[in-house]
Amino acid sequence: MKRPTRAHAKLMRGWVGQHVIAPNTRFRVQRWRITAPAWGARAPIRIGILSDLHWGYRPVTPRLLAAVKQRLQALAPDLIVFLGDLSEGPTNAAKRQNGAAGAQAMSGLFAPLGTYAILGNHDWHDARDAQERRAGPVAAAIELEKAGFHVLQNTALRTARDDFWLAGLDSQQAFKGETGEPKHVGADDLEATLSHVSGDDPVILLAHEPDIFPDIKDPRVAVVLSGHMHAGQIRPFGRALYAPSKHGTRYAYGHYENAGRHLIVSGGLGCSTIPLRIGITPEITVVEIQGHGPTHEHFPPR
């Protein structure tokens, strides 16, 4: 391998290198540690998050994803989740092929409490037959199940731990609106999702779009994990210029809190519309949740 020239090293240290070249050739690990009152004295949990793969578009290549998977497994999360938007491509046929290939490329991930996924708006938009009938099955869900993910669509379940619930909300922008409708119509049903939850144990809610966050009233929902926004994808000075949300850029990226409930919005891995990121590096997101209780354990270093 050739050694980098002085000019190349200078370029990488500059604005173009840090904000344009690096975000399209590298990835990072972004960590968030949350103290959630609803978690109480329960043992902490570490969740590894992948989101917005958009397989078929750079910067996500087979080489980068292989490195992402290796790094994620080395972080030893208790639980792994994929937050939707599996593929990208110029035609519907290409998107279907990329969806199958992308799911296969993510296969083999392991976590003690399991690997779970939800669907994003692109997963629905790319399924022409599902769009027409406004109902599943959705090809992305089938491919993700083949790859070892348990896909959650407006449902909730226990993992191997029986002291919290994991819930998965379907996309809030699943269908393209017809005449007289909003631009997008959701396949989400929060009430139905939480109807599967019994008792007072806390809920970790997976929701591709973060739009639902301020509308949640159930006190059992302790943490919401979302993607969709790509942190704006074009983020030249640390601020998103645009985000595909009814709230604009309000929940574009990072950690938010409201009345003791927490939201984490992952920057994700891939790109939509144009295969380019500016100012936001693809990421594995790691969320560590602990409670206020006196008996909770501290996270061991990993």
Would you say residue 302 lies in a domain?
no
Output the pLDDT for position 17. 56
- Residues 146-170: pLDDT tens digits? 999 999 999 999 999 999 999 999 9
Is a pLDDT exceeding 70 seen at residue 142? yes
Domain housing 120: 23-290
Would you say residue 295 lies in a domain?
no
> Rounded mean pLDDT of 199-215?
98
**Burial group, residue 256, by CB count within 10 angstroms (0-12, 13-18, 19+):** middle
Would you say residue 296 lies in a domain?
no
Output the pLDDT for position 20. 75
Would you say residue 108 lies in a domain?
yes
Output the pLDDT for position 179. 82
Average pLDDT, the chain: 91
pLDDT band at 24 (very low <50, low <70, confident <90, very high): confident
Output the pLDDT for position 3. 60
Would you say residue 169 lies in a domain?
yes
- Measure the N-to-C terminal CA separation of the chain; round to a whole number of Å: 31
Would you say residue 16 lies in a domain?
no
Would you say residue 18 lies in a domain?
no
Would you say residue 277 lies in a domain?
yes
Calpha distance 127→125 (Å, rounded): 5
- Residues 27-56: pLDDT tens digits? 999 999 999 999 999 999 999 999 999 999
Number of domains in the chain: 1
- Residues 248-301: pLDDT tens digits? 999 999 999 998 999 999 999 999 989 999 999 999 999 999 997 654 445 554
Calpha distance 273→88 (Å, rounded): 9
- Residues 173-198: pLDDT tens digits? 999 888 888 889 999 999 999 999 99
pTM: 0.92
DSSP string, the chain: -PPPPHHHHHHHHSHHIIIIIGGGT--EEEEEEEE-GGGTTPPPEEEEEE----BTSTT--HHHHHHHHHHHHHT--SEEEE-S--B--SSHHHHHHHHHHHHHHHTT---TT-EEE---HHHHHT-HHHHHHT----HHHHHHHHTT-EE-SSEEE--S-SSSEEEEEPPTT-EE--TTS-SEE----HHHHHTT--SS--EEEEESSGGGGGG---TTEEEEEE-SSGGGSB-TTSS-S--SSTTTTTTSSEEEEETTEEEEE---S--SSSS--BS---EEEEEEEE-S-TTPPPPPP-
CATH number, domain at 219? 3.60.21
